[in-house]
């Protein structure tokens, strides 16, 4: 719960974003999400050259899944840290992050994969029908896309916004071509855990606002 002072700072920040961006191409549900990403990163590029890309069913599917108490599977603890914990508590959403699990670490070594890849496979049952939020590990996003293409999982929403130089832009480009699974992503190297958690927080705000 925000203090009065904290809320006033947030409100002023959001107004500053509105004033600096001016007109934009996003609709009434998309813009609050983009604005919260900008708020979490202080990076106005997300409204421009690193524009956020929404699958046509992304927001509606994400809202319905969260309202239904779906699992939220994330790639790193940084995404967990950025979430407003009251939201999943109120709606019954389990937050799952397996990347630091010793068994995951050992399996990744044996298979010559990243921990992020293996952690996604380990969360198969929670990903199917759930929400995946990836802000740090492109290999996690690639693995989820592979699982979708294999017909193993069908998430309600993939939030794929990993930051990085190796495979990040390529993984997001691949995600943007998915048609059967809703997604939110962006083009280029920018992204991050704070952006991924900001998207989830913003979708919860849309739910609470009655959209």
Q: Which residues belong to the active site?
A: 39
Q: What is the 3-state secondary structure (H, E, C) of the chain?
A: CCCHHHHHHHHHHHHHHHHHHCCCCCCCCHHHHHHHHHHHHCCHHHHCCCCEEECCCHHHHHHHHHHCCCCEEECCHHHHHHCCCHHHHHHCCCEECCCCCHHHHHHHHHHCCCHHHHHHHHCHHHHCCCEEEECCCHHHHHHHHHHHHCCCCCCCEEEECCCCCCCHHHHHHHHHCCCCCCEEEECCCCCCHHHHHHHHHHHHHHHHCCC
């Amino acid at each position: 719960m925000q203090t009065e002072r904290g809320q006033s700072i947030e409100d002023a920040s959001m107004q500053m974003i509105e004033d600096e961006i001016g007109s934009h191409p996003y609709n009434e549900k998309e813009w609050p999400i983009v604005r919260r990403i900008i708020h979490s990163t202080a990076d106005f590029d997300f409204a421009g050259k690193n524009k956020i890309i929404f699958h046509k069913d992304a927001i509606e599917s994400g809202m319905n899944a969260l309202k239904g108490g779906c699992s939220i599977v994330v790639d790193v603890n940084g995404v967990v840290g950025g979430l407003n914990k009251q939201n999943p508590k109120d709606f019954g959403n389990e937050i799952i992050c397996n990347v630091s699990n010793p068994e995951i670490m050992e399996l990744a070594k044996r298979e010559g994969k990243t921990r992020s890849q293996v952690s996604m496979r380990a969360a198969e049952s929670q990903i199917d029908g759930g929400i995946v939020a990836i802000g740090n590990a492109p290999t996690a996003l690639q693995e989820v896309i592979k699982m979708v293409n294999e017909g193993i999982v069908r998430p309600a929403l993939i939030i794929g916004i990993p930051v990085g130089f190796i495979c990040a832009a390529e993984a997001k480009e691949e995600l943007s071509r998915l048609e059967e699974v809703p997604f939110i992503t962006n083009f280029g190297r920018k992204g991050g855990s704070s952006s991924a958690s900001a998207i989830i927080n913003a979708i919860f705000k849309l739910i609470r606002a009655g959209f």
